[in-house]
Amino acid sequence: MKAKLGMSPIAWWNDDLVELSDDVSLEECLRQSRSAGFTGMEKGRRFPDDPAVMLPILQAADVTLCGGWFSGTLVDEDLATNKARIAPMIELFKAVDAPCIVYGEVGRSVQGDRSRPLNTKPRLDDDEMKAYGRTLTAFGEWCAEQGMPLSYHHHMGAVVETEAELDTFMSHSGEGIPLLFDAGHLAFAGGDVLAAIDKHHKRINHVHVKDVRMGVIDALDRSRQSFLDAVALGAFTVPGDGSLDFGAIVQKFADYGYEGWFVVEAEQDPKANPPLTMAQLGYKELMRVMTNAGYTVETQGFPKG
């Protein structure tokens, strides 16, 4: 089985918390992640939106674009509005041969608002979730028809956060909307990570390998503290530096024959947790557990020739 290892630039620059951003260029971010061993990088705010500009930067760094976040609003807004907003991103991602666009629901979400405590997250009743699942399926099918598949990201503070919400969303949506599985977000939400992979592995097309510090999470006052407070306190980290057993997690993916990207997405203070050091630590741990699980990790970055 083959796998690829990528990173998210959120270790270097945080879009929601300016104080958790290092003053490094895109080129330096790519250089550091590649020197640690990663062959892909997800899109961040310092990436250009013109493929003619982006491709030479990726080529010089010997990395590929392995995904990127789209802030979806389908819980509140219609298909046409979201299609219009995602269309330029689809064309960009096709031009640089990215594998998928990550759909993150921001409608009603408290994830980006530091004034909103964790326990004020939005909740959908069953009828709302049914309608939401149908809408996401239609949107995912449309994006695939345009040549770029989506990957739905369950997320803290959003309408699909808990294991039960994920189960309900998956039951009311179809294969037209694949799943991004994020062990860190599900563990933060109190879910059973391995059980969720068992239930939903057939729909998973992208994986974020985010670790958590459960001591930080368990100490949170969810009636007072926000998701961004948790991030600033160090709730997330790279595999090998937190509480999750990525040996068991990666083995579970191997058991189901998953082949594709495993992306380290670990937002934390770059001054307290230097991104290059954390990238090296995460890569070393992932190589250990992936080798044990029988994966061959691809080492080619930007396509040759």
pLDDT digits 0-9 by tens, 53-77: 999 999 999 999 999 999 999 999 9
Q: Taking 80 as the threshold, does the pLDDT of residue 305 lie above it? A: no
Where helices occur in 37-125 by DSSP H, the ranges are 51-61, 79-95
| pLDDT attached to residue 22 | 86
Query: What average pLDDT does this structure show over 286-300?
Result: 98
At 205, give phi and psi (nearest 5°): -125, 0
Terminal Cα-to-Cα distance of the chain (whole angstroms): 25
Taking phi over 0 as left and psi of -120 to 50 as alpha, with beta for the rest, 255 belongs to alpha
Q: Yes or no: say if 178 and 202 are a contact pair by the CB < 8 Å rule.
A: no
| pLDDT attached to residue 115 | 97
Distance of alpha carbon 278 from alpha carbon 267, whole angstroms: 11
Tokens at 205, concatenated: 């097309």
Query: What average pLDDT does this structure show over 278-304?
Result: 97
Query: What average pLDDT does this structure show over 13-34?
Result: 94
Q: Taking 90 as the threshold, does the pLDDT of residue 15 lie above it? A: no
Q: Say whether 125 sits in a helix, a strand or coil.
A: coil
In our burial notation (b when 16+ CB lie closer than 10 A, e otherwise), range 103-123 reads bbbbbebbbbeeebbbeebbe
Amino acid at site 27: E
